[in-house]
Structure 1
């Protein structure tokens, strides 16, 4: 028993020596502190803005096309002219349409006269029939003649309506206020129903702006659409020369569905356009105020790293070790960025030397450029 006990004790000591010795020796060689620069988190007054590439479109736009055939005999507007609703734009040779209208009118008058004649005959035959002075068959013939005359009058009136419509189509007018483009035809050009395109008319004021957002942003814009206390400057336009359009927009529409392939949805904002600075088809940047308004926590963007879709920073503890902290980011402002969640004012974070750090690493601060 004593020998067995001694063998077990010796084995235990031998195992302990092999397992503990190297670890204790490694623990004695602590890794050197990593030289980094740090930044103290502060709050600043900011105006958070998101930008979206957008396209200006008119609220109303229509292609001016002929509905009858003929030759262009008049062009009443200049290229790019502003017009009012009902104003004449083009005229197609009206002579044959005027003649057709007159002929149809004559047919209507003739049909009316014939109906009046056979109606009188029918009334006379009806009185005679009441006195048994004529055969029943003759009254039936008179009644049929009245019905036939009424049908002829209806047909003549339909022809008159058709010819009158064609005659009215010979002058094309503006369906709404707007601006015409460059005319695609000249005097004397021959046209047919639907061809060619004569011009395009677009409304000017207000102007709509269409932009696209990811479906993840739909709840945010739904709240904007329903809110009654949104700031007046919520939507602005920035032109390609970086100038800002002086009028603010009004959020009006969210499209009916998200695109199945793109995962995006179209939205629309309207802008007043009294000075005609906004032109249909222009590409601009829509600026939208976000939640980063007023006093917000600001840190240098280079202090942020990303792993598996999450953003984090290294926070310096009192013992000069660092811990990873997940943060939710907001608006990028120059070289800085807003932190919406994850940090507090006064905390110290690592700005440079991050690539050498790991969780719990010991650090030593260095002047910028010396790490």
Structure 2
């Protein structure tokens, strides 16, 4: 009797083990498919070109010295605000004063010699008229008189040059501005024999800056004068600065086989936050729309598959411009999500296909698209704000979810954090335009 009870218990345990193995291993799991739905919405969209550049003053004057000598005194330093005509530095004038005195003495000697030669010429002229001397002697006196005149003129010119060199020992500011750099110190010798030494660099107006952007040759075709620009600098990562494209220089710059074009961007700097030499991260907006009908770019990439057809009625795929009986593709097959045609003016017109959820059915629709920023796409024609556009799908099984395209997941792999995105309409509004 006891043996029979033991056998019955063993059989029950085996049946339970077999049922558990079948349930956890061989039972086909029921999967639930969830669609991610978004409705078209109005918002801002724009295309931009990214570049880097350097912040610089609009007008910078480099001040040098036309004479050589030792810096005797400096009257301006870094960041000094100077006015036009203000004395910045002085070169030791001792040698130049001596040269002026020497040339002044030479001029005086030439004048005295001119007085003597003039008197001698007058005297020789009277003797020639009286027949006391020959004409050759008169011409000799006349030549000496003219040479004396030229010597006076030459000495006067040399004196003027010496006086001018003396005036060059005082270095004045040619403009109103701010001293950006000072390259000399008191006691330092400057030599202008071969080139003009740089003493100061003065920025005319730091409230008006410009950014020299290096735009890649692949993007320069979309950049035009007058387009809006925003940029940031590392010193103020939370501040967005505005500017305008002023000039696109035609001379290319080649570095490591990369061709770029210098683009000048005007940028106001009323608060003086921008400093010369800062590196700017630039966005040049080539096209912008403030009120465009938008859908996610993922909607143009979505295509229903076989799993979708099990829970929804998927309409047959029909190529654009063909009837329902020609060229149909089964649901789940991949096709061109965008096709190009040309309008009456010859410009390319972009088209794309999206899938709409209507009750328990999925139908595709060809639309005309415009601008795209790789996140959103402008809908020019084909959709309304009430359409439910499918952007993705997810398969849920026993509390875990996976993308329909993700494939089987190993049981030894850790699960991703967070649950799956739920279906239903998204009321996400379009992103606003960048700060203007």
Q: Separation in 2 of the partners of 1:146 and 1:264? A: 69
Partner-residue secondary structure (3-state), 2:294: strand
Match of 1:297 among 293, 299, 313: 293
Question: In 1, distance between residues paired with 2:139 and 2:48?
Answer: 86
1: CA distance between counterparts of 2:289 and 2:258? Answer: 30
1:253 partnered with 2:269: no
> Which position in structure 1 is the counterpart of 2:138?
139
Q: Which structure shows the bigger proportion of residues in strand conformation?
A: 2
Structural mapping, 1:158-177, within 5 Å = 158-177=157-176
Name the structure where helix makes up a greater proportion of residues. Answer: 1
Between the aligned partners of 2:354 and 2:378, the Cα distance in structure 1 is 14
Match of 1:278 in 2: 274
Q: Which residue of 1 aligns with 2:362?
A: 320
Aligned to 1:11: none
CA distance in 2, matches of 1:138, 1:355: 121
In the other structure, the counterpart of 2:214 is 212
Where 1:255 maps in the other structure, the secondary structure is strand
Query: How far 1:73 sits from its partner (Å)?
Result: 1.6
In structure 1, C-alpha distance between the alignment counterparts of 2:337 and 2:111, rounded to whole Å: 88
Whether contact under 8 Å (2:209, 2:268) holds in the other structure is yes
Aligned pair 1:87/2:83, yes or no? no
What 5-or-longer segments of structure 2 have no aligned partner? 1-32, 302-335, 341-349, 394-402, 407-419, 424-436
Distance (Å, rounded) in 2 between the aligned partners of 1:158 and 1:214: 56
Scaled by the length of structure 2, what TM-score is found? 0.58
Contact 1:43 1:345 in 2 (8 A): no
Deviation at 1:255, TM superposition (A): 0.9
Alignment match, 2:262: 266
Deviation at 1:48, TM superposition (A): 6.6
Rounded to whole Å, the distance in 1 between the matches of 2:376 and 2:123 is 99
Aligned residues: 315
CA distance in 2, matches of 1:38, 1:299: 11
Q: Work out the CA distance in 2 between the residues paired with 1:299 and 1:130.
A: 113
User: How many Å separate the matches in 2 of 1:264 and 1:355?
Assistant: 43
What is the aligned partner in structure 2 of residue 102 from structure 1? 101
Counterpart position of 2:392: 352
- Contact conserved, 2:367 with 2:379, CA < 8 A, in 1? no
In the alignment, what sits opposite 2:204? 203
Q: CA RMSD in A?
A: 4.1
Q: Greater CA deviation, 168-177 or 297-306?
A: 297-306
Separation (CA, whole Å) in 2 of partners of 1:176 and 1:73: 23
TM-score (norm 1): 0.67
Structure 2 SS opposite 1:267: strand
The DSSP-based 3-state class of the residue aligned with 1:134 is coil
Match of 2:27 in 1: none
Q: Give the deviation of 1:275 after TM superposition.
A: 4.3
Provide the secondary structure at the position in 1 that maps to 2:121: helix
Tell me, in whole angstroms, the C-alpha distance in 2 between the residues paired with 1:86 and 1:236.
Answer: 37
Deviation at 1:213, TM superposition (A): 2.7
1:63 and 1:45 mapped to 2: Cα distance?
45
**Structure 2 Cα separation of the partners of residues 270 and 120 of structure 1:** 71
Aligned equivalent of 2:331: none
Does structure 2 conserve the Cα–Cα contact (< 8 Å) formed by 1:292 and 1:338? no
Q: Which secondary structure does the structure 2 equivalent of 1:244 belong to?
A: strand
